[in-house]
């Protein structure tokens, strides 16, 4: 692969009934990944309320710093806090 090409992997987990899973202690309040062994990965998943989509983004630290401060991107994003 050429040095100037940076591959990204995108996956959609939308419509998977992840919040309907019950392992014996009721349905999850939130789901997530502990870690990803790969960089440059974006996973889309429905929010628990079903009114939005989360984007789980895994980048190298220096790339994540740029990503998190991109004002054009942030105009389309919202943050919420999980209330237990």
Our measurement of the distance from residue 35's CA atom to the centroid of its chain's CA atoms, rounded to an integer in Å, reads 11
Residue 84: pLDDT band with limits 50, 70, 90: very low
Q: Are 67 and 59 in contact (CB under 8 A)?
A: yes
Q: Check pLDDT > 60 for residue 76.
A: yes
pLDDT of residue 74: 87
pLDDT of residue 14: 95
Q: How far apart are CA 78 and CA 84, in angstroms?
A: 19
Closest CA to 56 of 9, 22, 5, 20: 9
Cross-strand bridge partners of residue 3: none
Q: Check pLDDT > 80 for residue 70.
A: yes
| Residue range 8-50, pLDDT digits in tens | 999 999 999 999 999 899 988 888 888 778 899 999 999 998 8
Q: How far apart are CA 42 and CA 76, in angstroms?
A: 16
pTM of the predicted model, to two decimals? Answer: 0.77
């Amino acid at each position: 692969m050429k040095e100037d090409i940076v591959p990204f992997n995108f996956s959609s987990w939308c419509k998977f009934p992840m919040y309907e899973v019950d392992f014996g202690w009721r349905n999850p309040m939130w789901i997530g990944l502990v870690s990803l062994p790969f960089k440059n990965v974006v996973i889309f998943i429905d929010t628990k309320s079903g009114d939005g989509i989360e984007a789980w983004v895994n980048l190298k630290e220096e790339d994540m710093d740029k990503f998190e401060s991109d004002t054009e991107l942030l105009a389309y994003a919202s943050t919420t806090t999980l209330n237990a």
